[in-house]
Amino acid sequence: MRLAALLLVVWIIVLAAGCAGKKATPNPYSFPQSTAPQSSGKTNAIVTPSANRSGRVVSVNPGARFAVVRFPLGQMPRLEERMNIFRNGLKVGELKISGPQRDVLAVGDIVAGDCQVDDEIRSQ
């Protein structure tokens, strides 16, 4: 009987130590819980993608008058499309997408004006 009582006491101590030893830590890979209030009403928002394409010049060959342009994913322009070149918000030239196009990069011929690295390219 003493042995059973001793085992019961040891089991309770081990159980209490196990529960008190480890605290729950948040999972770093889980999404954070939103604290924003939930709206119960339906919204009729319409999202229309912009037809304007824009990119950035990553490389220029002024002698051969062509530039390599990086576009955001899913915004690659068509071949032969003419685009404007902007530097600090001012139009400085025109570019015609001539190819090749790979992933997010496209090559274009400088038709008018000049072009430098980090200029912005926008559709007309």
Q: Where are the domains of the chain?
A: 54-123
DSSP structural state of residue 37: P
DSSP 57-111: EEEEETTTTEEEEE--TT-PPPTT-EEEEEETTEEEEEEEEEEEEETTEEEEEEE
pLDDT at 23: 63
Q: Give the pLDDT score at 119.
A: 92
Q: What residues of the chain score a pLDDT lower than 50?
A: none
CATH T-level assignment (fold) for domain 54-123: Thrombin, subunit H (2.40.10)
Is the model's pTM score more than 0.85?
Answer: no
**Model pLDDT for residues 87-113, shown as the tens digit of each residue:** 998 999 999 999 888 889 999 999 999
